[in-house]
Chains A and B, each alone.
Chain A
Amino acid sequence: MSERLIERQRKLLDYLTSAEAIFDGLPPADPALAGFNGMRLRLEARFSFGKRIDKIRALLPLTFTLLGESRDGILRDFSASCPPGSLARIDNTVEFCEFLRARGESLVPAQPWLSDVAACEVAFARVRVGIDRHSVPEPPAGTPRLALNVVLLRCRYNVAAFFEAGPGAPAPERRETLLAVKSPTSASQPRVFALSKGAYEFLNGLAEARPLSQDFAGPEFAALRGELVACGLIEIGT
Chain B
Amino acid sequence: MTKPDIGIGYRHALDAWTRKNLTRFDTLEVIVDHCFHGNPARRDGIFQLAREIPIVAHGIGLSIGTDVPLDISYVDEVARAIERLGASAYSEHLAFTRVPGRDLMNLMPLPRTIAVAEAIVAKVRAIRAVLPVPFLLENIAYVFEWPEPEMDEASFLNLVLAESGAGLLLDIENVRLNARNHRLDAAGFIDWLPPGSVQQVHLAGGAAVTEPFLDAPFHADSHSHPVSDEALDLLARVLARHKPTHIILERDTRLSETDEILADIAAIRSRIAGAGDIAT
A residues in contact (CB < 8 Å) with B: 4-6, 9-10, 12-14, 16-17, 25, 34-37, 39-44, 46-48, 51-52, 55, 83-88, 128-133
Contact = CB atoms under 8 A, between A and B. Distances in A.
What interface size band does chain B fall in?
35 or more
Nearest to B182: A40
A51 B147 CA distance: 25
B102 A51 contact: no
B214 interface: yes
B162 interface: no
Interface in B196-247: 209, 211, 213-215, 218, 220
A150 to B, nearest CB: 15
A8 to B, nearest CB: 8
A17 B102 contact: yes
Contacts of B43: 132
Contacts of B108: 12, 44
A85 B105 contact: no
Contacts of A48: 104-106
B102 A13 contact: yes
Contacts of B115: 5
A36 to B, nearest CB: 6
A18 to B, nearest CB: 11
A88 B37 contact: yes
A47 B220 CA distance: 9
B99 A129 contact: no
Contacts of B98: 13, 87
A51 B37 CA distance: 19
Ranked nearest first, the 8 interchain pairs of A and B with the lowest CB-CB distance are A35-B147, A40-B144, A6-B67, A132-B40, A5-B67, A48-B106, A44-B143, A10-B99
B68 A6 contact: yes
Contact of A6 (B99, B144, B220): B99
A51 B213 contact: no
A179 to B, nearest CB: 22
B158 interface: no
Interface string B15-38: 000000000000000000000011
A13 B99 contact: yes
Contact of B146 (A36, A46, A85): A36
Nearest to B108: A44
Nearest to B148: A35
16 contacts: A6-B67, A9-B67, A35-B147, A36-B147, A39-B215, A40-B143, A41-B144, A43-B214, A44-B104, A47-B143, A84-B102, A84-B103, A87-B61, A88-B37, A128-B39, A131-B40
B4 interface: no
B91 interface: no
A5 B105 contact: no
A130 B44 CA distance: 12
